[in-house]
Amino acid sequence: MRFKGLTVTFLGADGSGKSTIIENITPFLNEAFHDKVYYEHMRPNYIPSIARLFGKQDTQYGLVTNPHGSSISGFFGSFFRLAYYLLDYTFGYYIKVFPKKAFKSCVWIFDRYYYDYLIDPKRARIKLPIWILKIGQLLIPEPDIIICLGADPEIIHSRKPELPFLEVERQVKALKKFSEKHKRAVWVDTGTTIEESRDAALNHIVKVMAERFEHVKLA
């Protein structure tokens, strides 16, 4: 089945420029897709977060000043957290995202995605063996395009010093390695100007679109 829409995920450590790049490419995508650009944070968000489920304040959309400030769940708590959100990545995706992506010319932008559990599990309060997290990755519908944003760790840390420099450095290296191994991922250097980083991300999106529709015959 040839889908009419695209799903694009942006990954990167805090300070890598995700919000800035997304904000700068959205006008171009809105023009190309006739204002059919949808935005989600981390997951489809068809079901409420665990915090909201238990009547607590959901801070996922707010300004995060201490990404590793919350205590990490134990094994069973981590497993429940992962299993619960896997329902959103699977059933939530097919109920909320799939119908529009399959039949409408649109773009779904995800700021972060499941891969964050592999690269920065502490942020998600998850502590599980890596093989369990990788099994979860096999179950989720993967985005069409994964744009990994990064720069010199010193630059990223200077933008957002909430995490220790060594942790920022570790995340940048882990994401760079991920981008080299995943066939749908591409690395975009955000240590350059905003315009250069934006254009690099847009060029990759256009390239994927061109490859998808190169065999389509226009009437």
Q: Which residues are registered as beta bridge partners of 41?
A: 111
Residue indicated by tokens 């942020």: 123
**pTM for this predicted structure:** 0.91
Read off the pLDDT of residues 53-79 as tens digits, 9 standing for 90 and up: 887 766 555 556 778 878 888 999 999
**One pLDDT digit (tens) per residue for the chain, 219 residues:** 678 899 999 999 999 999 999 999 999 999 988 889 999 999 999 999 998 888 776 655 555 677 887 888 899 999 999 999 999 999 999 999 999 999 988 999 999 999 999 999 999 999 999 999 999 999 999 999 999 999 999 999 999 999 999 999 999 999 999 999 999 999 999 999 999 999 999 999 999 888 876 654 433
Q: Which residues are registered as beta bridge partners of 9?
A: 110, 146
Domains with residue ranges and CATH for the chain: 6-213 (3.40.50.300)
Q: Which residues are registered as beta bridge partners of 145?
A: 8
Report CA-CA distances (Å) from 42 to 79, 156, 177, 217.
18, 20, 20, 36
Q: Are strands 37-41 and 185-189 parallel, antiparallel or unpaired?
A: unpaired
Instruction: Please say whether the beta carbons of 17 and 187 come within 8 A.
Output: no
Angle at the Cα of 71 (from 68 to 75), degrees rounded to 5?
115
Residue indicated by tokens 């939530």: 92
Residues in the chain: 219
